[in-house]
Structures are given as C-alpha cells and as structure tokens.
C-alpha cells in the first residue's frame, strides 16, 4: 500500500521512479522527550492485564453533551464507560459533569483507567477571544500565546484535559468557512502561531501533569484548508513540493513545539482520505517527523471513508488502523470491527497494542493515573472562570486583532461629542460577536457594539439606533442558523421600510456607524459561501446611508475575507473586527474612539471578486506574468478583472502613518554558513503614537523549481511614539532560504535573492543579495 501510494504519487508528479528514495526527506526529531522508562513500565504492566475489548475501548471516543458536528450521537454511554469500552469523552465539561463520568471510569471499570476529556477550545473556553483569523492579524505572538494560556487555565479548571486546537490549516480560499479558525494563508506566520498556541496550552516545558495544562491536538492533518472550490469536506489534490513548502510547515511546527496529539482531516489527499492514508499518518508523521503522540480521527471520519468509496465499516476500520490512526472519534467503527478485523487477519495485534499504548501514554503524561480529577472542583472553577484579568486579556487581544482597512480624511478616531447613529443588523448582537466554535462562551456575558459604544461614550455622545435591515433575508439560511444557536430575530417589515428608518436616524446624526457583516454561523465548519459580499440587503443599507452625506464608518464582522469594492470606494472608514469575542464591544469602542490605535494586519488576502480566488500573496510568477500593459493579450490575467487583490496580505492602516527607509544589507554576498543583517529605519510620521508590523519578504530569483514571488521570512511589531524613528534589524541565514526541491530535499540554492521590507506585502522596498555557492 505504502509503495503503491508513493509510486502513484511519483507518477502523478512526473517524477522518475528512481526518485522514490530521494522523495523521502530525512527524518527529523520531534522536540518531545524520549520515552520515560517509568511510564513504559507502568503501561506495559497495565496492558498485560487488559483484554482485547479493553484495549479497543481505549481507541473509542464518545460524545456526551451537545455540539455534535455529525450525524452520530453516542448511545449507551454509562454502560460503555463501565465496561471499559470508552477511552475518551468529547463535549463534557464542568467539574461536576466531568467528575461523574471520571468516577465511573476510575471506580467502576475493571482496571480503573481514567478518561480523557476533549473539547473544541479554539479561541477561548469561557472567556472568548477573537476568532483565530483575527488573533493572527495581531501578529503578536505573546498575545496569541496568552490567549491559549487563559483558555487552558479555564478549560482545565472546568474538567477538560485535551483541547482540539491549534487548527493550523493553511487556507487561501475565503469561500471555505473554516478559514476563520486558522491563521490565514502564510506558512511562516502560521508556524509561529502554531508554536505559540501549543506553548500556551501545554505550558513552556510541556509538562502536561501540571493541573492547569491541557494537551493540544494539532488539526486537521492534513491539507484540509485546500478543499477544492472552498467547499467544506471537499477533495484536495496537491503536489509534494507544494505540500512540503506551503501547507505542511505549521503542522510540523506545532509538533516540534511538543503538541501531544494530532487530528486527522476529513478530506481525501491525492486519492486516499487522510484518515486512511498510511503515507500521511505513518511515513510522514511517524517516520519522517518522528511524532510520538497519538492520532485521533475527526468526527466519524472512519465511517465517512465508505462515502469516499474506500469500502464498508470493516474495511475502513482496518484501513484506518493500518494507516496509523489511534483513536476513533464518535464513529464506533473500531469498537464494532477491530476484534473481527483481528480474527480475519486484516489488522495485527501489535497495531491495536500500539494504538492503545499511545492513548495510555497521553493519559500518563497528563498525570491522570495519579490524579484522574486533576484537582478540579467547583470552587476552583468559580475562582478561575472569566476572571477579570482574563477579560482584560481578551479585550487587549481583540483590539490588537482589528484591521483598519480604510480611513478617509481621518474619519476615525471619533470625537466624543455630538450625535452618533448606530445602525446595522450586528450593532446590538451579543450572540454573533463570539464567532463560531465559541466553546463554553456565554453570549449573555458578551459585550455588543452598542453596549461598548454606550459605555465608552457616556453622556458626551447622543447615540441613536436603528437596525436598518435584517442580516439576511434567506429564509432557509436563517432557519439553519437558528437551528444551531444563531438566535437571529427577524424584523418582518420590508427592507425598504427598515432602511428608511435608519436613514431618518442617520440624518439626525453627525456620524453614522454601520455594523454589518456575517452572522457568527456563516463561517466555521460547514459554512462555505459562493458569494462573498455582505449578505442580504446590507449593501443596500450602506448605499442609502451614504446618500445622506454623513460620514460613514463601516464596522465589519466576518469570519473570512469578503469582497468589499463598493465599501472600499464609498465608506469613509472601514474597520474589520472579525468576531472579537466576549469583550468585542469594548474593544471596538476603544478603537473607534481612539483609546487604542489599530495595528492589525491581514493574514489572508481580500480579493476584489470571487472569480480571483484562490488569491494569495506568495503565488508563482507564471511564464506570462501580467505587468499592467493593457493591450498585451497573451498574459496571465482576466478580461474582466484585475489580478491585484483589494487588500493584500499584511495590509492594515493605523491612525498614524509610518515611513520606511531603504533596507540596508550588512553584505551583498551571503556565504553558505554566514548570516546577513537587513536594517531598515521605520519612522512614525503621523500624529498619533502607534504600533507597526514591519514585514520582511524574500524572493528566490532563480531556482531548480519555480519559487514564489514573495515569501514572508520575518516580522517585528514595534511601538513608535509620534515622530519617533527606529532602525530594525532582521537576520537571515542560508537556513531561511531553504525550500523542498523536486526531490524533497531541503536546500538553499546559490544565486540571487531579493529582499523586501514594508508595512504590507505590496508596499515594499527592495534590494538584492547573492547566496554564494562556497
């Protein structure tokens, strides 16, 4: 199977079969500690006592509670736990609920093996931080790590020991709703964020036995973000160099940081679904990368291999185990089939043992055999959950995540005087600001934009409100959103009447703030969109408001890049706030009134139109790049659209302005073991203090394979007082220039390189250097 798959891949790539050897990059070692002999001895002794059924039980994860994302709900929960047929539980939290099940496992099963408690803690547990795409836009690794630490402390206090995060799928297609859950389109930034998240969850020493650490689960392995046409769960098909260079680095980075577990993805990869893909789960993950933790499937993804066309339950069960899967999420395929698979010889005892051992090792590392309850009590939970310092951290990260896309005539920050018209279907929504996957976040404790603005404005500003339009008028979509907790209340009046009401309100005001965008359920899982404009009549509302001639500030909420050409041309200010979490309203008010000067930068390109997708900054040049000469026909371009995005990767404005000097190099020839310093002076030339994210990109001008026109290789977030200037130093070594070549060797190839520095990927200053051969 392994040889077959690799051979098929090589053939598909047009690689000669002799390249088979070379196509296995050298094994690297994961930073996690080698096996602890005490642990090995303990688990061996325990496994000696285990029956086959009990071993298979450890490979079974059930869902108890809510939040199910698939058709299957676990049955016979108590009986299965008591007979040792359950290794882990998903969706159960609170000290009382978790303890009840843990006691069942520890006191009532034959061998007293504790359970893992997993949950989708993605951007906070009770205190909800901005969605991951928003947090990434902060380019602030310490803030991102802090968010994961707060989430870990809350989740651990609430009975959880395992979180299904970080989600590190590179995504270049904003039609895919799950772009909201990751760090965006760039492997370099994505890798740094992946590491920061793992450190936050597991702690700096990866000592999972500390009662406030939780085990991370890197997902979705792999390439889930490359689903064709941006449609969720769809197929991926990708060359190996693209995988290794562009999509795999963040998974590897999270594992190098010590993440204890991996979740397989739903998608098919070059013909074999990830969950049954031995090349992926064993050759790459275990042999090349040296991963020693355990792999859980995504929700019922073994069962789904039947729909993929890989066989019935019995066949997919064997396929998954043989591929290297250790635990079956909710599908109970292992539970129903492995014993029979063993009898029939389609799986081996060693494989069941190995999977069981890996799950038990995770439990051991979490200290569950010593204290299955990890000191969880209602009292500790009460003292921990939603502490003031956590709320402050959420507000801080939320402010940092917002991206100012437009600010004509310094419309923002708003002055605290006069009359403000606050309109739009998201202006008073507490539900939506939490975003998708808001774990145990309680919308009633979330701050809406209206609440935030009223509190910030006090009596100094008169605030008038009108909704303007419903968020969408697609009845089916509303029904679906509401069936999954959307709680949209719909105004039955025609849109025209609602818009007229909002226009009347706007006419009485000095400035209009329109809060528009997506409902929280319009991004995330199973939320792909083919049209990326504002849903429903929201654009019509903005157009009517514009007609009043009042300054129009558009506050956007979305889980993805949207197409915003009208908004870009017509809004006086445009602020992307994503779904900013529990403290959203306060954070948005802080930015609108200038208590915080925005510093976020996009980590996913905003296209002008859906037809440009996939659109990403680190693309290839092609043989016929379009250089803007209109009459040239045979160029890589569209007849009816430009190639450029509306807002490029790395883009974001501030209330102040920054000017970059030309980058200076310490040498123009970099030796194979040397280092190069790139110095650039950044000056705050505007009239506010502010933070800037200085970004460094390279281009490998000549390579043995075509190379991207730009690749991010460094960034620094700096605070500069108005008028202040600072020289920043970036360091590049030949290691930073390495990439996987056609034979998947990780090499830096001598020759010319461009180095570009600027405040976004488009507005850069460039210079060149040479990487010497000797």
Nearer to ligand BGC, 145 or 525 (CB): 525
CB 364 within 8 Å of CB 38: no
Six token digits for residue 115: 């359970």
Q: Report the C-alpha dihedral over residues 340, 89, 523, 713, rounded to 10 degrees.
A: -90
Nearer to ligand BGC, 154 or 525 (CB): 525
Nearer to ligand BGC, 266 or 369 (CB): 266
User: Exactly one of 5, 92, 109, 120 binds ligand BGC (CB under 6 A); which one?
Assistant: 120
Which of 298, 264, 224, 274 has its CA nearest to residue 70? 298
One symbol per residue from 348 to 387: x for binding ligand BGC (CB under 6 A), - otherwise; what is it? ----------------------------------------
Q: In Å, what is the CA distance from 268 to each residue of 5, 274, 530, 773?
A: 13, 6, 21, 41
User: At closest approach, how far in Å is the CB of 91 from ligand BGC?
Assistant: 7
Told to check if 395 binds ligand BGC by CB under 6 A, we report no
User: Exactly one of 6, 123, 146, 219 binds ligand BGC (CB under 6 A); which one?
Assistant: 219
Nearer to ligand BGC, 63 or 761 (CB): 63
DSSP symbols for 670-735: E-TT--EEEEEEEEE-SSS-EEEEEEEEEEESS-SS---S-EEEEEEEEEE-TT-EEEEEEEE-GG
One symbol per residue from 556 to 595: x for binding ligand BGC (CB under 6 A), - otherwise; what is it? ----------------------------------------
User: Exactly one of 5, 129, 164, 188 binds ligand BGC (CB under 6 A); which one?
Assistant: 164
Told to check if 707 binds ligand BGC by CB under 6 A, we report no
Report the distance separating Cα 555 and Cα 503, nearest Å.
17
- How many residues touch ligand BGC under the rule CB under 6 A: the total is 8
CB 703 within 8 Å of CB 620: no
3-state secondary structure of 395: helix
Told to check if 298 binds ligand BGC by CB under 6 A, we report yes
- First-to-last alpha carbon distance for the chain, in angstroms, is 42
Told to check if 169 binds ligand BGC by CB under 6 A, we report no
Told to check if 304 binds ligand BGC by CB under 6 A, we report no
Active site residue 298: yes
3-state secondary structure of 288: helix
CB-based burial, 521-533: b 16+ in 10 Å, e otherwise:
bbbbbebbbeebb
Nearer to ligand BGC, 116 or 720 (CB): 116
User: At closest approach, how far in Å is the CB of 354 from ligand BGC?
Assistant: 23
DSSP symbols for 540-601: HHHHHHHHTTS-EEEEEE-SS----HHHHHH-SEEEE-----TTHHHHHHHHHTTSS-----
Report the distance separating Cα 484 and Cα 646, nearest Å.
33
What contacts 459, CB < 8 A, 6 or more positions away?
A: none
Set 298, 326, 572, 590: catalytic member: 298
Told to check if 69 binds ligand BGC by CB under 6 A, we report yes
User: At closest approach, how far in Å is the CB of 515 from ligand BGC?
Assistant: 28
Cα 180 to the chain's mean position, in Å?
6
Told to check if 525 binds ligand BGC by CB under 6 A, we report yes
User: Exactly one of 139, 247, 289, 299 binds ligand BGC (CB under 6 A); which one?
Assistant: 299
Nearer to ligand BGC, 190 or 585 (CB): 190
Nearer to ligand BGC, 302 or 562 (CB): 302
- The residue with tokens 């005087």 is 417
One symbol per residue from 71 to 100: x for binding ligand BGC (CB under 6 A), - otherwise; what is it? -------------------x----------
User: At closest approach, how far in Å is the CB of 474 from ligand BGC?
Assistant: 23
User: At closest approach, how far in Å is the CB of 164 from ligand BGC?
Assistant: 4
Q: Which residue number has the CB closest to ligand BGC?
A: 69
Nearer to ligand BGC, 225 or 551 (CB): 225
Q: Angle of helix 584-592 relative to helix 388-401, nearest 10 degrees? A: 50
Residue 221, strand partner residues: 264
Query: Environment class of residue 543 by beta-carbon count within 10 Å: exposed (0-12), middle (13-18) or buried (19+)?
Result: middle
Report the distance separating Cα 236 and Cα 618, nearest Å.
19
User: At closest approach, how far in Å is the CB of 36 from ligand BGC?
Assistant: 28
User: At closest approach, how far in Å is the CB of 193 from ligand BGC?
Assistant: 17
User: At closest approach, how far in Å is the CB of 530 from ligand BGC?
Assistant: 21
User: At closest approach, how far in Å is the CB of 341 from ligand BGC?
Assistant: 25
Nearer to ligand BGC, 220 or 252 (CB): 220
The residues of the shown chain that bind ligand BGC, judged by CB under 6 A, are 69, 90, 120, 164, 219, 298-299, 525
Catalytic residues: 298
């Amino acid at each position: 199977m392994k040889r077959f798959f690799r051979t098929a891949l090589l053939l598909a790539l047009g690689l000669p079969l002799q390249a088979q050897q070379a196509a296995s990059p050298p094994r690297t070692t994961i930073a996690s500690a080698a096996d602890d002999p005490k642990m090995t001895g303990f688990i061996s002794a325990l496994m000696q006592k285990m029956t086959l059924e009990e071993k298979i039980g450890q490979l079974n994860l059930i869902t108890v509670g809510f939040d199910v994302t698939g058709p299957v709900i676990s049955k016979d929960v108590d009986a299965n736990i008591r007979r040792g047929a359950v290794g882990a539980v998903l969706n159960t939290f609170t000290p009382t609920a978790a303890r009840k099940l843990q006691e069942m496992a520890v006191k009532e099963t034959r061998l007293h093996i504790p359970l893992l408690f997993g949950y989708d803690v993605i951007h906070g547990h009770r205190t909800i931080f901005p969605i991951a795409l928003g947090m990434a836009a902060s380019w602030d690794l310490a803030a991102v790590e802090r968010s994961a630490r707060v989430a870990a402390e809350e989740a651990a206090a609430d009975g959880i020991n395992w979180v299904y995060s970080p989600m590190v799928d590179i995504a270049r297609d904003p039609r895919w709703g799950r772009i909201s859950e990751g760090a965006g389109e760039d492997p370099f930034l994505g890798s740094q964020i992946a590491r920061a998240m793992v450190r936050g969850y597991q702690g700096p020493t990866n000592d999972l036995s500390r009662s406030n650490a939780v085990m991370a689960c890197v997902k979705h392995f792999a390439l889930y973000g490359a689903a064709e046409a941006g449609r969720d769960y769809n197929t991926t098909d990708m060359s190996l160099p693209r995988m290794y260079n562009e999509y795999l680095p963040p998974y590897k980075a999270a594992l190098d940081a010590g993440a204890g577990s991996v979740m397989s993805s739903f998608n098919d990869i070059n013909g074999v679904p990830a969950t049954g893909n031995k090349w992926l789960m064993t050759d790459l993950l275990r042999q090349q990368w040296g991963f020693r933790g355990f792999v859980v499937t995504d929700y019922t993804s073994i069962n789904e291999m039947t729909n993929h066309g890989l066989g019935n339950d019995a066949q997919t069960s064997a396929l998954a185990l043989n591929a290297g899967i250790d635990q079956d999420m909710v599908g109970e395929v292992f539970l129903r089939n492995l014993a029979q698979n063993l009898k029939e010889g389609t799986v081996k005892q060693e494989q069941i043992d190995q999977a069981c051992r890996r799950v038990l090792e995770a439990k051991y590392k979490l200290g569950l055999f010593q204290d299955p309850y990890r000191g969880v009590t209602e009292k500790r939970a009460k003292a921990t959950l939603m502490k003031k310092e956590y709320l402050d951290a959420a507000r801080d990260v939320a402010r940092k995540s917002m991206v100012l896309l437009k600010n004509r005539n310094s419309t923002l920050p708003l002055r605290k005087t006069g009359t403000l018209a606050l309109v739009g279907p998201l202006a008073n929504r507490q539900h939506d600001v939490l975003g998708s996957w808001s774990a145990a976040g309680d919308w009633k404790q979330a701050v809406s934009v209206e609440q935030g603005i009223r509190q910030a404005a006090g009596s100094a500003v008169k605030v008038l409100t009108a909704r303007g339009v419903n968020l969408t008028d697609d009845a089916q979509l509303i029904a679906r959103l509401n069936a999954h907790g959307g709680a949209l209340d719909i105004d039955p009046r025609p849109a025209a009447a609602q818009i007229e009401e909002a226009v009347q309100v706007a006419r009485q005001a000095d400035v209009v703030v329109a809060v528009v965008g997506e409902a929280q359920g319009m991004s995330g899982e199973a939320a792909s969109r083919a049209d990326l404009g504002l849903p429903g009549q929201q654009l019509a509302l903005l157009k009517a408001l514009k007609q009043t001639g009042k300054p129009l500030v558009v506050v956007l909420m979305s889980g993805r890049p949207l197409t915003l050409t009208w908004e870009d041309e017509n809004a006086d200010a445009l602020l992307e706030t994503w779904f900013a979490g529990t403290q959203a309203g306060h954070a948005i008010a802080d930015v609108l009134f200038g208590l915080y000067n925005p510093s976020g930068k996009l980590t996913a390109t905003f296209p002008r139109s859906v037809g440009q997708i996939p659109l990403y900054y680190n693309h290839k040049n092609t043989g016929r790049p379009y250089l803007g000469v209109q009459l040239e026909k045979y160029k890589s371009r569209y007849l009816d659209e430009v190639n450029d995005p509306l807002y490029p990767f790395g883009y974001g404005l501030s209330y102040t302005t920054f000017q970059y000097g030309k980058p200076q190099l310490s040498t123009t020839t970099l030796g194979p073991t040397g280092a190069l310093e790139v110095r650039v002076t950044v000056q705050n030339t505007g009239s506010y203090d502010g933070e800037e994210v200085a970004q460094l990109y390279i281009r490998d001008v000549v390579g043995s394979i075509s190379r991207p026109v730009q690749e991010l290789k460094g960034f620094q977030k700096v605070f500069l007082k108005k008028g202040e200037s600072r020289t920043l130093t970036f360091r590049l070594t030949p290691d930073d220039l390495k990439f996987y070549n056609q034979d998947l060797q990780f090499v830096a190839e001598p020759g010319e390189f461009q180095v570009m520095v600027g405040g976004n990927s488009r507005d850069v200053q460039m210079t060149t250097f040479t990487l010497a051969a000797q």
